[in-house]
Structure 1
């Protein structure tokens, strides 16, 4: 702003000087004055360009900061709304029967859903998907007979957590276990049948899978 105000003042001085020296036959404006004007013009152009660049950088930085704040606010808002997550399900939706054995591990799909607060458990896939970052607790129980071992793993994504396993020479058998896990948003938890194991379920709901959110983080 000071440079812009100074430029008309310099032109005025130059004009007055020209009026005073015109009768003497001297030049209307000295050579050094013209050089100073050129330097001022160049300097003003450079400063204008710098100001434009700074404004652009500040605008980009401000936009990025606002976007980060919006993202953080959305995450906090999501956590505030998802305060309660809990589910409990048994293996068969109706009737009775065995699942397994199999040569490989397979995800058990617990179709009979008793509770599904937050809709984080999918009864079509047998997979629980964490809606928020936090600590969760899971319990699972498998039931079988003496012909084949009853066993199932708890998985977090593709990570094997714990195995519930039991076998005996006669009568019915069961195995159960539990685990508390730190889950990120989108992490998946499932129960997979131990290879070569066989589990049983009926209208009494003997083979089950349950979990709930303890607290968000």
Structure 2
């Protein structure tokens, strides 16, 4: 049917053209307008439909190229909020760790101070000679006497008293004590190491004439406040010079609980 209509339209147009040529003719523009007019009657314009489709295409294009800005902002805000929470948690953890480290350092410092104090308390040692003069005889006496070693060489911890000649234990522990004895015969030379009034060991030498030399030592377990000193035996005599041949020494080996 459509083909028949088109043939009729072409024939009509052909007849019109021939008629116009007979009557004086149409120019080329008029022929084109005539053809366009006939075509327009056959295919009316669809402007509204095309505009609607174009608008729909633009909306779809914009939707694909430009996503929802509000959704993007909401997602970004949520991300920032989450990161802020993570940062606060990290700051809290760091502060806790720093506080813990400071406490450890403080405890370590206190421990070191206590250790230094404990070590100072354990630093106990002394050594002393009998006299500071060039030469001196001591004895003989009819009774035992406590020797006072006044020429102090060392007195770490100040546990030895050069005025009384007595060592007083500042803490419980094992202590080492030694004495050296020198004299000129006669009579004999003898001295005892005494703990709390009781003889522990004796250094003794006898011969009819000449120099007399003797020494002895002992390890003692002392409680706090125990005393140790040297006692010259009755009827004996010692002799000392600037060479310090009569000495009394002691030191802490290790503390005890």
Shorter-chain TM-score: what band?
Answer: 0.5 to 0.7
Any idea what SS the aligned residue of 1:195 has?
coil
* Cα distance in structure 1, aligned partners of 2:177 and 2:244: 17
Q: 1:140 aligns with which of 171, 176, 179?
A: 179
What's the CA shift for 1:99?
0.6
State the partner residue of 2:169.
130
* Cα distance in structure 1, aligned partners of 2:129 and 2:244: 5
TM-score after normalising by structure 2: 0.53
Q: 1:101 aligns with which of 136, 140, 146?
A: 140
State the partner residue of 2:223.
184
Return structure 1 stretches of 4+ with deviation > 4 angstroms: 76-80
Any idea what SS the aligned residue of 1:82 has?
helix
State the partner residue of 2:151.
112
Matched, 1:202 2:209: no
Q: Which moved more, 1:77-86 or 1:119-128?
A: 77-86
RMSD between superposed Cα atoms in Å: 1.5
> 1:13-162 counterparts in 2 under 5 A?
79-162=118-201
Count of residue pairs brought into register by the alignment: 142
State the partner residue of 1:214.
253
* Cα distance in structure 2, aligned partners of 1:157 and 1:180: 14
* Cα distance in structure 2, aligned partners of 1:89 and 1:174: 18
What's the CA shift for 1:145?
0.8
Gaps of 5+ in 1: 1-75
* Cα distance in structure 2, aligned partners of 1:137 and 1:162: 12
Per-residue CA distance 1:146-173 (angstroms, 9 max, x = gap): 1110000100011111111001122101
* Cα distance in structure 2, aligned partners of 1:197 and 1:121: 25
Gaps of 5+ in 2: 1-114
What's the CA shift for 1:101?
0.6
**Greater Rg, structure 1 or structure 2?**
2
Higher helix share: 2
Contact 1:79 1:132 in 2 (8 A): no
What's the CA shift for 1:174?
1.1
* Cα distance in structure 1, aligned partners of 2:133 and 2:209: 26
Contact 1:100 1:199 in 2 (8 A): yes
Higher strand share: 1
* Cα distance in structure 1, aligned partners of 2:212 and 2:119: 42
TM-score after normalising by structure 1: 0.63
Any idea what SS the aligned residue of 1:169 has?
coil
